Amino acid sequence: MMDRRQWIRAAGLAGVAAAAPSPLSPSLSALTQRGAAPGPLGLPRARNLIFFALDGTGFEDLATASHFSERVLGRPFFFREFLRRGASSGAMFTHSLTAVVTDSAAASTAWSTGRKVVNGALCMYPDGRPLRPILDLAREAGRATGLATTTRITHATPAGWIARVADRDQEDDIALQYLEFQPEVLLGGGAAHFLARSRRDRRDLVAEFRARGYDVVRSRRELLNSAGDRILGLFTDGTSHVPYEIDRRFQGVDTPSLAEMAGAALARLQEAPRGFVLQVEAGRIDHANHENDPGGMIWEWMAADETLRLLVDFVDRTPGTLLFVAADHDTGGGTVYGFGDNYLSSTPALLTVQRQRMSLQRFRSRLGRNPDLALLPEAVREFLGFDPTPDQVERMGRVLKGEASFGHPTAHSGDLNSLAAVLWEIPKGRVDRPNLAFSTGNHTAGTVPVALYGTGLTPAPLGVVDNTQLFSWMLEALGLSFSNPEMSEAEALEILARRGEEGEPRFRHPFD
Ligand SMILES: [Zn+2]
């Protein structure tokens, strides 16, 4: 089998042969950069723009979340109501400049600059050329700006709208670029990159934000009580993300919900004299999918759906506001599958997800490395909602001790993927397990949902678009015109090849 290095050579992408037509061209380049642009949509001019990013989720999850909400919780799924109210919707290709599967950094950059980059980079080409992101353009046009997310605030999806760095892991630099940029609202997790004791340069960014007039809040209560009109919210210590919704709801973890963060952001930005651009991110659907955690994923979606309702209500009472809703890529490739005669068992099996009361991640860390096997069945019953078979308990024990792996564990969440593979299998004749199968612990190349909604927008199918298209639509809505520099896939691969980076992608981060 050819390795990637040989393949790039064979494709004529290294050195002088780069100009020759390459076998890569039809696959990626055809849809890259200018290729897929359907042109202006005829969007109404928007004073305010809200972009609701759903990280790491695709059409299968949309259906799963919808069925769970309506059939299990008996609650209307607001996303459907959103479509009924006249949202324009479609699907989106997500590949990055040099890979069919994107990471969140390249995906966020595609939205915010209209250009594809190499996975891992934020608003920067591999030769160091920076790209101008949407919030920079919006601010120049007088808009207030904000970011609110359930991940670390310096994580890739929010960062891609302000920061320009070669590597998404430069989160100390990203925090510093936020300080220089001074968006009105920054809400999320991960205080480490703002605190003197954990920053490499020992700068106290919290003090520096305060000196620039920010109210810095560290808890849900402080957020809800804050009267500051510029706000920095850091809701978790260290490099932690905001805890999972399933743990917030059922394990008493005290943290603001995504809807509360979005509400706090809007309360401040709606006062902006010349309008605003706000990115709100449901950032951890992705993480639950990386971990192959059905209850984790579904409750992140429930929190996202509740947030969507809040955003749509805001749009309905605030003329001149346009709402974008888009997933950046799918993660996990999870599907609810049919089983039983006429698939009649597939619905009750979905009902069992309701009995899951803890994220798989929290469950794993509670059990520790060397749990008493006799206690495992009770732990599974109490927190995951079903009785494991003796065989499952035995295999769980081996996974927890690091002695075995099952399914398709990835470098990301290896033992969690293994644990999921053991736990979510359905023994013959049983219907009391979630019938949700994941195909990977990584991202996938699948197309994802995209939708637009707002004052004066005529509902129309968006078709299947490229992720870079959303930049053009945002510019159109804001009445702006701008074009970032271009780079071809071949050029990028050549630069990477010169640097010797065309081999196996580096593994650096638990959650790409
Ligand atoms: Zn992502």
Domain with CATH 3.40.720.10 in the chain: 39-334+448-498
- pLDDT surpasses 90 at 103: yes
Q: What is the mean pLDDT of the chain?
A: 89
From the list 69, 89, 104, 112, the catalytic residue is: 104
* Ligand 1 mean position, distance from CA 152 (Å): 13
Residue 419 contacts residue 366 (beta carbons within 8 Å): no
pLDDT, residue 39, reads: 60
Find the range with the poorest average confidence among 89-98, 273-282, 417-426: 417-426
Position 452 confidence tier, pLDDT thresholds 50, 70, 90? very high
Dist. CA 152–CA 236, nearest whole Å: 8
At 142-197, the pLDDT tens digits run 999 999 999 999 999 999 999 999 999 999 999 999 999 999 999 999 999 999 99
* Ligand 1 mean position, distance from CA 55 (Å): 4
* Ligand 1 mean position, distance from CA 344 (Å): 34
- What is the value of pTM for the model shown? 0.91
* Ligand 1 mean position, distance from CA 331 (Å): 8
* Ligand 1 mean position, distance from CA 284 (Å): 9
- Whose tokens are 């479609």? That residue is 90
At 104-132, the pLDDT tens digits run 999 999 999 999 999 999 999 999 999 99
Active-site residue flag, 104: yes
pLDDT, residue 503, reads: 52
Dist. CA 182–CA 147, nearest whole Å: 11
pLDDT, residue 114, reads: 98
Dist. CA 93–CA 162, nearest whole Å: 23
* Ligand 1 mean position, distance from CA 443 (Å): 8
At 413-440, the pLDDT tens digits run 678 999 999 998 877 777 777 888 899 9
pLDDT, residue 499, reads: 85
Position 456 confidence tier, pLDDT thresholds 50, 70, 90? confident
Domain 39-334+448-498 belongs in CATH node 3.40.720.10: yes
- pLDDT surpasses 70 at 21: no
Position 356 confidence tier, pLDDT thresholds 50, 70, 90? very high
* Ligand 1 mean position, distance from CA 153 (Å): 14
Dist. CA 414–CA 420, nearest whole Å: 10
What residues have their beta carbon closer than 5 A to ion ligand 1? 55-56, 104, 286, 328
Dist. CA 279–CA 273, nearest whole Å: 19
Query: Which residues, 6+ apart, have CB-to-CB distance to 140 below 8 Å?
Result: none
- pLDDT surpasses 60 at 53: yes
At 370-415, the pLDDT tens digits run 888 899 999 999 999 999 999 999 999 999 988 888 887 776 667 8
- pLDDT surpasses 50 at 35: no
Find the range with the poorest average confidence among 23-32, 440-449, 454-463: 23-32
Dist. CA 257–CA 304, nearest whole Å: 10
Sheet holding 231-234, edge to edge: 215-217, 231-234, 185-189, 144-152, 276-282, 48-54, 321-327, 448-454, 88-93, 463-466
Residue 299 contacts residue 249 (beta carbons within 8 Å): yes
pLDDT, residue 33, reads: 41
- Other residues' Cβ atoms within 10 Å of the Cβ of residue 26: 10
At 243-263, the pLDDT tens digits run 999 999 999 999 999 999 999
Position 502 confidence tier, pLDDT thresholds 50, 70, 90? low
pLDDT, residue 22, reads: 41
Rounded to an integer, the average pLDDT of 88-92 is 96
Helices 258-269, 294-317: axis angle to 10 degrees equals 20
At 293-307, the pLDDT tens digits run 999 999 999 999 999
pLDDT above 70: percentage of residues in the chain:
89
Dist. CA 387–CA 378, nearest whole Å: 8
